[in-house]
């Protein structure tokens, strides 16, 4: 019988197969366990694992929750500030009420009998920032709040903590031909990126004094069915035939990651021994210029993208004049990542191509998703 539990915190098909965790004999072999030093092994047949997902009603958290339930190998405890937004019902799903990500938060009830935490909740970019000290607020939630959750998880015997970080830890802009790598020196340039870096560092320190393993994923811009914000706006403009002055932005390279690909590597990091103590960048491995990206979206829409060829320098100048230099920076500069480490350590290659993912994104947009 299907059921959903609401825990009060204060009381304390090609694609589906490709997304399943690779539970191969090679991965579970004594040779690989010895090689990687990880103690967190794949499930035995018939076993289930309890996963706590924070931020489970968000774009990434909801997709991850749905995917893990579809696999049948997991009991999912989905934590959200508003569990009513989680429109899923399954035998192995529990909904949990979280009051936010506070430094003094009590997570003990939600962490009971949990094997792995996937921490997606965070204070993200605020368009109209009201905090008098944004960095302090980012630190309070993303650093202190994360560490409070992780400390309690470690105390209660959670085996692995998968932290959803951000490519902003690496920086805002990569040089052409020199993509960011996971082990590059970090260079965040805004308060959000700084807070994510400091959270990573705090988790690393915590792992060094306990037995809970930490894995960190830094995604680039995530898109897919249900995407909101600027990416959805671009789809809408192209669908309406609005001419965009971005036909001349052909020399930059931007990395993107489809939601299915991000969910795939997050799921892999639940189990893979080599993921312990590592940072991974997540992308589709198919970098493109801004112009090419818009043309591919147009193709998915079945339309020719109406692009005007305006020199990037003129776009930057206009954006500065309008007080929106950051917009031009994102559209005209490069932000490219190298995911070769993922293949080397995890044998991970993105299972869904960019074109397929863009088509699915557009299909969902047309359905109003």
Distance, CA of 285 to CA of 262 (rounded, Å): 12
Model confidence band, residue 86 (pLDDT cutoffs 50, 70, 90): confident
**Predicted local distance difference test score (pLDDT) of residue 128:** 66
pLDDT(275) > 90: yes
**Catalytic site residue 74?**
no
Catalytic hit among 36, 74, 192, 365? 192
pLDDT 10s digits, 221-273: 999 999 999 999 999 999 999 999 999 999 999 999 999 999 999 999 999 99
Nearest-angstrom CA–CA distance, 197 and 67: 28
pLDDT of residue 28: 37
Binned at pLDDT 50, 70 and 90, residue 39 comes out as very low
pTM for the predicted model, two decimal places: 0.88
Helices (H) and strands (E) in the chain, counts: 15, 10
Complete DSSP assignment for 5-38:
EEEEGGG--HHHHHHS----HHHHSHHHHHHH--
Q: Which of these ranges, 7-16, 79-88, 354-363, has the smallest mean pLDDT? A: 7-16
Exposure on the CB side of residue 80, measured as CA atoms within 13 A: 20
With a cut of 70, say whether residue 30 has pLDDT above it: no
Per CATH, the homologous superfamily of domain 5-226+255-285+338-348 is NAD(P)-binding Rossmann-like Domain (3.40.50.720)
Nearest-angstrom CA–CA distance, 219 and 122: 14
pLDDT in tens, 171-218: 999 998 899 999 999 999 999 999 999 999 999 999 999 999 999 999
């Amino acid at each position: 019988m299907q059921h959903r539990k609401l825990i009060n915190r204060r009381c304390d098909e090609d694609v589906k197969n490709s997304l399943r965790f690779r539970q191969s004999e090679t991965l579970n072999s004594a040779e690989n366990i010895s090689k990687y030093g990880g103690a967190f092994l794949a499930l035995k047949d018939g076993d289930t694992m309890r996963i706590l997902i924070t931020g489970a009603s968000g774009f990434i958290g909801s997709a991850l929750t749905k995917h893990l339930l579809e696999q049948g190998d997991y009991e999912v405890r989905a934590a959200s500030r508003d569990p009513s937004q989680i429109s899923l019902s399954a035998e192995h799903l529990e909904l949990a009420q979280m009051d936010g990500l506070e430094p003094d938060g009590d997570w003990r009830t939600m962490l009971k009998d949990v094997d792995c935490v996937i921490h997606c909740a965070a204070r993200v970019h605020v368009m109209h920032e009201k905090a008098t000290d944004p960095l302090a607020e980012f630190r309070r939630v993303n650093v202190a709040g994360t560490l409070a959750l992780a400390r309690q998880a470690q105390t209660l015997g959670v085996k692995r903590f998968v932290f959803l970080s951000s490519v902003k830890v690496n920086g805002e802009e990569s040089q052409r031909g020199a993509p960011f790598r996971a082990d590059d020196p970090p260079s965040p340039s805004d308060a959000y990126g700084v807070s994510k870096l400091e959270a990573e560092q705090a988790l690393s320190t915590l792992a060094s004094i306990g037995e809970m393993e930490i894995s960190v994923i830094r995604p680039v811009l995530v898109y897919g069915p249900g995407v909101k914000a600027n990416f959805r706006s671009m789809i809408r403009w192209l669908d309406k035939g609005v001419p965009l002055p971005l036909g001349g932005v052909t020399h930059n390279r931007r990395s993107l990651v489809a939601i299915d690909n991000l969910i795939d590597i997050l799921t892999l990091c639940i189990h893979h021994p080599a993921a312990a103590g590592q940072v991974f960048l997540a992308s589709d491995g198919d970098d493109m210029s801004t112009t090419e990206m818009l043309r591919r979206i147009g193709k998915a829409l079945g339309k020719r993208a109406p692009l005007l060829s305006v020199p990037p320098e003129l776009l930057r100048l206009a954006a500065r004049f309008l007080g929106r230099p950051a917009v031009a920076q994102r559209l005209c500069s490069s932000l490219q990542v190298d995911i070769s480490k993922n293949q080397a350590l995890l044998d991970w290659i993105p299972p869904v191509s960019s074109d397929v993912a863009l088509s699915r994104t557009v299909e969902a947009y047309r359905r109003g998703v």
